[in-house]
Chain A
Amino acid sequence: MIIYTIKRVLLASLIIACAVSTMFVMIHAVPGDPANVMLGPRATPEIKEALRARLHLDQPLSTQLFYFFKGLISGNFGFDLRSNRPVLDIVLEQLPHTFILVSSALIVSTLGIPVGCYAAIHRNGKFDRIVGAISVSIIAMPAIVVGLYLLLFFSVELRVFPVIGAGDSEEWLDYLWHLTLPVITISIAWIGYISRLVRASMIEVLSQNHVRMAKAFGLPETRVISRYALRIAVLPSITMMGVSVAFILSSTVITEIIFARPGLGSLLYESVLSRNYPLVMGTVLVSTIFIVGGTTIADLINAALDPRAVKEND
């Protein structure tokens, strides 16, 4: 298990380096001049040229990439082109908001496990059919639609939840209050998706020999389900939840914009549009670590639950 863990961590580091390099090349290939962003239209060509030189933008892409990684190694992520504040400071200010949003959405998404499990046990029953219909409907709904309707109903009509901002981070109740609608916006589709996944997986496991044998031996149904069926049925969902970190993170972009929440998603959106390269790279780096970290943790949990995964990778 230790060797497996080391291998996974090394692989994760390699993936992060590749992803960041690819992103670096991609954003520099897109048309747009950061000197215009930083200095505005009224700057003289000389001032713009001096800035390009300072940012190494007048040099080949490979040299720029070298300077980027050199900076990373020394802990220098560069400076925001507009405010001139260190990128790392800005990203770290925003990270907790996104981390809390994503983690909460992931936790809430796990509601899909008991729902899917119950639907599988009562296969083709009323509950199963209702959950099936609702799940498919909510999976198909984009976050922007869910978010706007939640806002219109709960914030404008009922006035029970706030519309904008993250709330006061020093008052956890206020923060939680502001977090509720964004979390529902992101996780509602995942609850549906995970419930369908667990249901399908559970139905398959329930028909397997070891489960039928356990039942034949007269073990109580709750014990059979919790000890022998659910443990296996939940594995694909855990893998999927690892992958879902990436999807949830991308959902945060639109969610943070709709709810005017601070966070990495809205920061990334703004910085891409304004060609604020250092800020884009800082945000992408942290997001990549977040995503690759999530999938690595999911793999390690999988391996702990199912030792065959370790052997297959040896």
Chain B
Amino acid sequence: MKQCLKRMLSGKNWGRLGVFKLKLIKAIARFSQNLGLAALICSFSIIGSINAAKSAELNVRLGEDFTTLDPAFWQSGADYTMINVLFPKLIEFKSGSDWEYELQAAESIEQVDELTIKFKLKPGLLWTGNYGEVTTEDVKYSYERYIDPELNSPIIGDWLSLKEVEIVDKYSGIIHLKEPFAPIWWSTLPYTSGAIVSKKATEKAGGKFTTDPGATAGAYKIESWTPREKTVLVPHDGWNGPKAGFDKITILPIQEPKSAEIAFEAGEVDITEISIGSVPNFKKSPPTGGVLDVRPTADYTFLGINIANEDLSDVRVRQAIKKAIDVDAILEGAYFGVPEKSTGLVAPGLVGYTGVVPDPRDVDGARALLAEAGVNSLSLEVDVLNTAEFITAAQIIQANLGEIGINLQINQLDSGAFWNVAADRKEALQLTLNNYTSPPDPSWSTQWFLRDQKGIWNWVWLDSEEFDNLHFAALKETDITKRETMYYDMQRVMDESGGFLFIMHPPSVILYRDNIKPGLYPNGGLKLSAFQPAK
């Protein structure tokens, strides 16, 4: 059989007919080859024309799909991004590196006194779905619903000081506060809680909604949503702000950062957040047309040392632990040297940022403090999330503490178990390596360490009347200089307690194509309404 086939292919013993057949086969082969080539060229042209047509389209990767669009119930980063692009606010944070706001739905806004804010809406901003114009009535409804006890909004704190919103006319209104509330300009009005929802549409939905708001009035509107697959946004005709930069934005929920990086390299997404671990590689060999943007967030990563734990009740032991730990080594080993060393609870760019670099590691000083406290050997446990970064950081801490005679056991927990660890173990909890997120106002960071938060979010069991008083005073203080001093003092109290070792403000690492001009909040959050094609 094989020999027969060989003979056939070699053309031997074919005769005239054979030669003709051979020519025919060759001709067919040539034709197929040309056809294939033509098809290839054709497909490239088609792909090219598709790409050209896609010039006004943007593919954005988010780490997960949104789950609720109601500003009174938002939870995840995806919810935050979607709410910001779909609903207008009186004022909105600018895209850039400083936390500054600009007017959005408001034509003007002014703080008349500590308890009164006057605003006037821009006329002509329309809701989708024939719900008419955005009016003061919508603003009143949107903000007052937070303090309605029946709504049970988990983020009632943003508007707790609200007394009422007075309607002056269709476009003008006055926000009346019960007491001064400084964060209103930082983490309420320009943040998610400042989003305006349609009164008619929300009431029609029963007073709250999840994934179908009924009406939106942002720069873009939802054209289609396939849960956990993609969301397509298109410009909203009734928007009266700056023109939307793209004809279509496709939002793709990709959970795994590595897959997102591969999708970027394959050209399937135009912007994605990447893991810190990938930064060195991307810096060394950046993908074609890729731009890397690293910016610090207001979030904070710290080692919490539980003051209420029996083994850690002596402040000298806690200070010894702080002195013994090499924060620079953690930043280098676990975070590839990308983030800056933290100077305290408050992140750069926020009110109360001290900028004072903490003392370097002092092993001898740590040993001396332990000796002074009469501690010869100590075994402790640290609870950490089971991510590579946290585990590496914990291992470095373990090695550091080993040098001063402290034996450290690392407990790796998944997120569900980790965030319940204080409730489970209470005062028995010893060390925790934590990362807390924060909106751009320091009050959102200090509130977790009040005395009534012990065992809830205050895992250090910080018990300071001075701290509590300063926190509440700072909430009401509208003079920025005075407020700043208060946050300096609060950070001093935290430092003196020996319960906190601040490591870094985790950076947000964004990778985007050079043919787009991304709209990014100072913490790297996506401001989709500000995205524009690069000129």
Contact = CB atoms under 8 A, between A and B. Distances in A.
Nearest to A154: B266
Contacts of B260: 260
A47 B151 CA distance: 10
A148 B266 CA distance: 13
Contacts of A122: none
A97 to B, nearest CB: 9
B211 A266 contact: no
B227 A47 contact: no
Contact of A83 (B156, B210, B423): B210
B228 A258 contact: no
Contacts of B421: 31
A166 B420 contact: no
Contact of A32 (B68, B417, B457): B417
A209 B124 CA distance: 90
Contacts of B268: 162-164
A47 B420 contact: no
Interface in B404-462: 414-417, 419-421, 423-424, 448, 456-457
B263 interface: yes
B157 interface: yes
A32 B416 contact: yes
A41 B64 CA distance: 19
A156 B265 contact: yes
Interface residues of A, number: 46
Given A40-B154, A165-B229, A259-B259, A275 B266 contact: no
B496 interface: no
Interface string B117-137: 000000000000000000000
Given A40-B155, A84-B210, A163 B259 contact: yes
Contacts of B152: 47, 50
A31 B424 contact: yes
B263 A260 contact: yes
Nearest to B256: A257
A82 B268 CA distance: 28
A288 to B, nearest CB: 21
Nearest to A80: B67
Interface in B66-93: 67-68, 75-76
Given A47-B152, A262-B227, A257 B255 contact: yes
A94 interface: yes
A85 B154 contact: no
A145 B228 CA distance: 24
B230 interface: yes
B252 interface: yes
B251 to A, nearest CB: 12
A262 B266 contact: no
A83 B154 contact: no
Contacts of A267: 228
B388 interface: no
Interface string B189-227: 000000000000000000000110000000000000011
A155 B262 contact: yes
Contacts of B230: 165
Contact of A43 (B154, B229, B262): B154
A53 B185 CA distance: 36
B473 to A, nearest CB: 21
Give the size category of B's interface with A. 35 or more
B253 interface: yes
A260 B419 contact: no
Interface centre among A83, A85, A151, A273, by most chain B C-beta atoms within 10 angstroms, is A83
Nearest to B229: A262
Contacts of B64: 270
Contacts of A83: 67-68, 210-211
Interface string B171-191: 000000000000000000000
Contact of A163 (B263, B420, B448): B263
B416 A262 contact: no
A129 B260 CA distance: 39
A227 interface: no
A44 B151 CA distance: 13
B259 A156 contact: no
Interface string A240-273: 0000000000000000011110100011001011
Contact of B416 (A31, A163, A260): A31
B121 to A, nearest CB: 28
A271 to B, nearest CB: 10
A84 B208 CA distance: 11
Given A31-B420, A31-B424, A40 B75 contact: yes
A42 B154 contact: yes
A33 B423 contact: yes
B54 interface: no
A181 to B, nearest CB: 11
A98 to B, nearest CB: 12
A272 B228 CA distance: 16
A36 interface: yes
A260 B253 contact: yes
A159 interface: yes
Interface in A24-48: 30-33, 36-37, 39-45, 47
B258 interface: yes
B267 interface: yes
B162 interface: no
Given A31-B421, A151-B262, A93 B416 contact: no
Contacts of B254: 164, 260
A274 B210 contact: no
Contact of A164 (B156, B157, B263): B263
A266 B228 contact: yes
A94 B229 CA distance: 10
Interface string A129-170: 000000000000000000010011001100100111110000
Nearest to B268: A163
Contacts of A41: 448, 457
A19 interface: no
A156 to B, nearest CB: 5
A82 B75 contact: yes
A40 B456 CA distance: 12
A155 B268 CA distance: 10
B258 A148 contact: yes
A90 interface: yes
A260 B67 contact: no
A85 B259 contact: no
Given A33-B423, A41-B457, A260 B255 contact: yes
A85 B157 CA distance: 26
A84 B73 CA distance: 11
A143 to B, nearest CB: 13
Interface string B225-263: 011111000000000000000000000111110111011
B503 to A, nearest CB: 20
Contacts of A159: 266-267
In this complex, the member of A44, A155, A162, A260 whose beta carbon has the largest number of chain B beta carbons within 10 angstroms is A260
Contact of A82 (B68, B258, B267, B420): B68
Given A31-B420, A83-B211, A84-B210, 9 more contacts: A40-B155, A82-B68, A93-B228, A165-B230, A257-B259, A260-B252, A266-B255, A273-B414, A273-B416
Interface of A: 30-33, 36-37, 39-45, 47, 50, 80, 82-85, 90, 93-94, 148, 151-152, 155-156, 159, 162-166, 257-260, 262, 266-267, 270, 272-275
11 contacts: A40-B154, A44-B156, A80-B67, A82-B67, A162-B266, A162-B268, A257-B256, A260-B256, A267-B228, A273-B414, A273-B416
